[in-house]
Amino acid sequence: MTLTTAAAIRAIVFGVLALFVAAVAGWLSFLAVFAVATIATLVLVGETLIALKVPTATPSEGSKAKAREALIDTSALIDGRLSDVVASGFLDLDLVVPEFVLRELQHVADAEEPMRRARGRRGLDVLQALRESSRLRVVADDVPEEHAVDLKLVSLARRRGAVLITTDFTLNKVAGIRDVVVLNVNDLAHALRPVVLPGETLRVMIVKDGKEPGQGVGYLADGTMIVVEQARGFAGRTIDVVVTSAIQTAAGKMFFAKPAE
């Protein structure tokens, strides 16, 4: 029941009492007071029923509306791009890393396999950069009933009413099923890829020969592959090319081009 409804009910009750007092004093007839009391009672019942039917927001709805912080997954730290995204000013959220994520990141950084160890240390560098920017806090919150780090993150995000930052496809799906809002760095990167249309001229460095005869392969600044016809043997050279077509693959979009005349 809202404060406005409660105030209205109190006003009706006090008004009816005042009318009865006036009737006892002989200023009004009891018949008139009875009629007014009946109408007031109907209004009172209506106001009460309306107040009881007002929907209340569920915890998940409230968390989505008021989310002002984001939990960061290990994969988003290892990815390396998050510090640049935060520095750009496009992410207006308080960043939070649970200690169980920090422990997992340290475990990766101590791995025996060189590549895995390098990725873990890059994640620690990103974490340090975010701490220095005063945009990140490490919290001791845990979810003891969950053992997997991904499930801990999802449960903690629901509990704190936070969104989740990740690059992990599986975690993205699990969080979505549990009604946790996900900010996927890969989705952001795909959304920011430049739009290239057939007929546009680009300047591309050919980095290697293609699989088919006569082809050379280059990459755009965002990593998109571009296959250039009649460019075999051009590796190491930067040339102007005209885009001829594009195809969508499982890994993303790929362009085909030919040398500009």
Nearest to 152 by CA among 200, 115, 98: 98
CATH classification of the domain holding 208: 2.40.50.110
Same domain? 68 vs 171: yes
Same domain? 42 vs 101: no
Q: Does residue 222 sit within a domain?
A: yes
Same domain? 132 vs 93: yes
Report pLDDT for 215.
92
Confidence class for position 92, pLDDT limits 50, 70, 90: confident
CATH classification of the domain holding 107: 3.40.50.1010
Same domain? 28 vs 121: no
Q: Does residue 196 sit within a domain?
A: no
Same domain? 69 vs 133: yes
Q: What is the number of domains present in the chain?
A: 3
Same domain? 80 vs 175: yes
pLDDT at 135 over 90: no
Own/partner pairs for 119-128, CB < 8 Å, 24+ apart? Answer: 119/78, 120/78, 122/78, 122/80, 123/74, 123/77, 123/78, 123/80, 124/77, 126/77, 126/78, 126/80, 126/82, 126/83, 127/77, 127/97, 127/102
Same domain? 155 vs 208: no
Q: Does residue 206 sit within a domain?
A: yes
Same domain? 115 vs 173: yes
Same domain? 170 vs 226: no
Residue that terminates a domain, selected from 167, 191, 215: 191
Q: Does residue 74 sit within a domain?
A: yes
Same domain? 89 vs 18: no
Q: Does residue 85 sit within a domain?
A: yes
pLDDT at 28 over 90: no
Same domain? 14 vs 129: no
Q: Please state the rounded mean pLDDT for residues 120-141.
A: 89
Lowest pLDDT segment from 24-28, 158-162, 256-260: 24-28
Report pLDDT for 133.
77
Q: Please state the rounded mean pLDDT for residues 153-165.
A: 93
Residue that terminates a domain, selected from 142, 165, 191: 191
Q: Does residue 120 sit within a domain?
A: yes
168-211 per-position pLDDT tens digit:
999 999 999 999 999 999 888 877 777 788 899 999 999 999 88
Same domain? 75 vs 48: no
Give me the chain's average pLDDT, please.
81
Q: Does residue 37 sit within a domain?
A: yes
Lowest pLDDT segment from 39-48, 154-163, 242-251: 39-48
pTM of the model: 0.60
Q: Which domain holds residue 97?
A: 60-191
> Dihedral (C-alpha) 107, 108, 113, 116: value to the nearest 10 degrees?
180
Confidence class for position 60, pLDDT limits 50, 70, 90: very low
